[in-house]
Homo-oligomer: A and B are copies of this chain.
Amino acid sequence: MKRLIENIRNKLSEKGLKVTPQRISILEAIYSLNNHPTADNIIEFIRVSHPNIATGTVYKVLDTLVENKLIKKVKTDRDILRYDGIVDNHHHIYCSECDLIEDYKDEELDVLLKEYFNKKQFEGFKLEDIVVQIRGTFDKC
């Protein structure tokens, strides 16, 4: 736990961001809440230890973290914005029945896509990132 917080401090100052208790607990919340929390999940989690944090602050910090690539936004077509503490390239599996979003890492796929798009070459466009959305239904749902 100590170690996690030390790690968070380093990440923040590496980016030239002020290390504030609010920023630390928000990142801590994202790392603790596994499944792509919403802003609301994060606020609820933090209020336990930090009852006075303002919702505006949480949104502002989340924006800052996204800008500095310490977290990612996850787009879903069905509901509100979610946040993802994993910034390595990875994909998402969306269940059509429940609201779950699962992470999907697949280096073989990454290589395949990278090679494909390298060959392709877009005119007038600088490619930054490719994310695959896999939609389907879990049998358990």
Contact = CB atoms under 8 A, between A and B. Distances in A.
Contacts of A75: 75-77, 79, 133
* Contact count band on A: 35 or more
B130 A131 contact: no
A107 interface: no
Contacts of A6: none
Interface string A126-137: 111111111111
Contacts of A130: 132-135
Given A126-B137, A130-B134, 9 more contacts: A72-B77, A77-B81, A93-B125, A125-B137, A128-B136, A128-B137, A130-B133, A131-B133, A132-B133
25 contacts: A72-B77, A73-B78, A75-B133, A79-B80, A79-B81, A93-B125, A96-B128, A109-B116, A112-B112, A113-B132, A117-B134, A122-B136, A124-B139, A124-B140, A125-B136, A126-B137, A127-B134, A127-B136, A128-B137, A129-B136, A130-B135, A131-B132, A131-B133, A132-B133, A133-B133
